[in-house]
């Protein structure tokens, strides 16, 4: 079985930041892929499945880079870390994904709202990340932005369609937004590795992205005749390994084969 090597402190924060980006896109991909063969119509079923594959590809790029950094810092190289060991052989408390990504899909309105909130933030984050002093992070961000632009266009069109649709679709959107809103604040509350990455020019200062995110969300909501939620308590913890009760179930499903048959390959 591959094991993850110990990391020297000098590179901890860059590795943690890269893992945060990888974990967030992986868990979001895993969650929305649950819609495969369950979408409301075939065209949209294919669309959301392709979005999950885009996010999975982004996570692979970040995991590969994180494994490279970790192996550079490893005291031994006999069992190097890989993208697979990082995804399949870490426990819940080691994952650093945003809490929003692990929440249940709920109905179509909840999934659309979650993807819209996340994609708008991700676009702002990656627009800054492509200017990173770390060329690998910058390259992954640049490559991902075209995909993210499509994710925003697709999800925002559904926000408009449901928000300004029937009475029922409008109410479902309001219910979804009310449920998800308290998990959006974590986007903009930095943890240590984000602060360090911003200080050293590897990543953006996430708290500076909030105003633009709010502006974009407000513009779409106004057109969709949806009210903006008011100030409320914001949930945090995912970035440092404190997750909701849903995270363990995601990992149990996602990691079951690798943990049952270590090193299994197709």
Domains of the chain, by residue range, sit at 9-260
* 149 close to 212: Cβ distance less than 8 angstroms: no
CA distance 229 to 211: 15
Cα angle, residue 126 at apex, residues 120 and 127 outer, rounded to 5°: 90
- What residues have CB less than 8 Å from 197, skipping those under 6 apart? 13, 14, 17, 203
Whole-model pTM? 0.91
Tell me the pLDDT of the chain (266 aa) as tens digits: 333 333 343 488 999 999 999 999 999 999 998 988 676 776 777 889 999 999 999 999 999 999 999 988 766 455 668 898 899 999 999 999 999 999 999 999 999 999 999 999 999 999 999 999 999 999 999 999 999 999 999 999 999 999 999 999 999 999 999 999 999 999 999 999 999 999 999 999 999 999 999 999 999 999 999 999 988 899 999 999 999 999 999 999 988 888 888 877 66
The topology under which CATH files domain 9-260 is: Ferritin (1.20.1260)
Query: 167-200 burial string, b = 16+ CB within 10 Å, else e?
Result: eebbebbbebbeebbbbbbbbbebbebbbbbbee
């Amino acid at each position: 079985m591959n094991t993850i090597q110990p990391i020297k402190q000098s590179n901890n924060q860059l590795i943690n930041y890269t893992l945060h980006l990888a974990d967030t896109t992986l868990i979001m991909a895993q969650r929305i892929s649950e819609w495969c063969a369950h979408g409301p119509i075939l065209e949209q079923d294919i669309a959301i499945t392709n979005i999950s594959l885009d996010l999975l590809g982004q996570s692979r790029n970040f995991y590969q880079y994180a494994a490279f950094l970790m192996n550079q810092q490893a005291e031994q190289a006999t069992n190097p870390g890989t993208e697979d060991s990082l995804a399949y052989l870490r426990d819940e408390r080691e994952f650093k994904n945003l809490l929003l990504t692990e929440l249940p899909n709920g109905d179509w309105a909840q999934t659309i709202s979650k993807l819209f909130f996340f994609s708008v933030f991700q676009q702002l984050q990656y627009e800054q990340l492509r200017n990173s002093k770390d060329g690998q992070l910058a390259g992954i961000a640049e490559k991902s932005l075209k995909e993210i632009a499509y994710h925003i266009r697709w999800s925002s069109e559904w926000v408009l369609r449901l928000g300004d649709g029937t009475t029922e679709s409008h109410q479902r959107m309001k219910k979804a937004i009310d449920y998800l809103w308290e998990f959006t604040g974590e986007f903009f509350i930095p943890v240590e590795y984000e602060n360090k990455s911003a200080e050293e020019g590897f990543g953006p200062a996430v708290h500076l992205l909030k105003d633009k995110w709010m502006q974009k969300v407000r513009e779409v909501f106004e057109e969709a005749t949806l009210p903006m939620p008011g100030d409320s308590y914001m949930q945090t913890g995912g970035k440092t390994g404190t997750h909701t009760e849903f995270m363990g179930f995601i990992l149990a499903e996602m990691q079951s084969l690798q943990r049952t048959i270590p090193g299994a390959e197709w």
